[in-house]
């Protein structure tokens, strides 16, 4: 069964096929209103469960629209709707949902919820986000880079800030797609050693550089993410701001990257914190192309999961 749980758990040829499929599907829709069905309807007659333990804008809308464009139907469920893992075990929920739907996307906190869902489901499961990884986002990011600059293989990507779940999936992608990644941020927020090791074992150069100016020298792509979560306490937010203030992506920092370097942020953003509006709205930024490409990448992921 084709679960899409993480980039490092998916075959390299399958990942490349998903990116190529996403780009072809996007090209085929040029000029079409958003509500226009795709020319082919690979999800016709299919029901997709979209489970959200964590709130979402881009994930919810992009998956919902993508399923509809491909002819399927969605059932959107929150954690409170389901009492996931509380009123019923994850395993039993997976078994029950498998009798009703053809595909499950889950956005959750604990990675163990995702893996247990996949273990017991009889239908494919997609990781919409966990506290450790965010693979759908990075597939969209790879698609976005290649639209603008060609193959990402051999390029230098710089991550500035917190070595969080999005950074983790970027490390997985570095190993699978063959690009190098430099992390610049405070030691307290370094990415997980396991994920750094994965990329290095695949032959990617992974560098930890505390000086952000040195880090972005020669960068083809500079990426950051929000410094705080909506669930962080006020004291935690203040601590993280103090740690990360020196890693803000601003015009001065971008001036040290390649002249044609791209800037990405998966959104939502706290403008003037992790990145300035001058960068987010400036000539290097592709953040809204990146947001749109969640739709196209996830459509291709769903097709792959269902062998469509």
For helices 111-120 and 90-98, what crossing angle results, to 10°? 50
List strands edge to edge, sheet with 180-184.
206-208, 180-184, 156-160, 221-224, 262-265
For helices 287-305 and 58-69, what crossing angle results, to 10°? 50
List strands edge to edge, sheet with 125-129.
73-78, 47-52, 103-107, 125-129
Q: In terms of C-beta density within 10 A (0-12 exposed, 13-18 middle, 19 or more buried), how is residue 235 classed?
A: exposed
The pair of structure tokens assigned to 296 is: 């196209």
Which residues belong to the active site?
107, 134, 137, 225, 266, 294
Alpha-carbon torsion, ordered 207, 265, 244, 229, to 10 deg: -120
Check: CB of residue 294 under 8 Å from CB of residue 265.
no
Q: Give, in order, the Cα–Cα distances in Å from 153 to each of 1, 173, 277.
A: 28, 10, 29
């Amino acid at each position: 069964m084709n679960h899409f749980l993480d980039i490092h758990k998916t075959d390299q040829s399958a990942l490349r096929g998903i990116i190529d499929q996403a780009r072809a599907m996007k090209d085929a829709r040029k000029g079409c209103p958003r509500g226009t069905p795709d020319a082919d309807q690979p999800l016709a007659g299919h029901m997709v469960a979209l489970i959200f333990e964590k709130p979402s804008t881009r994930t919810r809308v992009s998956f919902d629209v993508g399923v509809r464009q491909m002819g399927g139907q969605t059932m959107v469920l929150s954690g409170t709707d389901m009492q996931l893992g509380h009123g019923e075990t994850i395993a039993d929920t997976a078994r029950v949902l498998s009798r009703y739907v053809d595909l499950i996307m889950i956005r959750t906190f604990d990675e163990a919820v995702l893996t247990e869902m996949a273990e017991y489901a009889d239908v494919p499961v997609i990781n919409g986000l966990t506290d450790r990884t965010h693979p759908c986002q990075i597939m969209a990011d790879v698609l976005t880079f290649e639209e603008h600059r060609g193959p990402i293989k051999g390029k230098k990507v710089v991550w500035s800030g917190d070595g969080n779940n999005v950074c983790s999936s970027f490390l997985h992608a570095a190993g699978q797609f063959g690009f190098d990644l430099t992390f610049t941020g405070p030691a307290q927020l370094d990415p997980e050693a396991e994920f750094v090791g994965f990329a290095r074992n695949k032959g990617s150069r992974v560098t930890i550089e505390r000086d952000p100016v040195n880090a972005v020298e020669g960068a083809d792509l500079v990426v950051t993410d929000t410094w705080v979560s909506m669930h962080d306490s006020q004291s935690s937010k203040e601590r993280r701001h103090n740690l990360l203030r020196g890693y803000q992506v601003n015009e001065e920092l971008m001036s040290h990257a390649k002249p044609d370097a791209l800037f990405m942020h998966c959104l939502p953003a706290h403008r003037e914190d992790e990145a300035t509006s001058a960068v987010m709205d400036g000539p290097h930024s592709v953040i809204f192309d990146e947001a749109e490409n969640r739709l196209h990448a996830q459509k291709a992921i769903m097709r792959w999961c269902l062998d469509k």
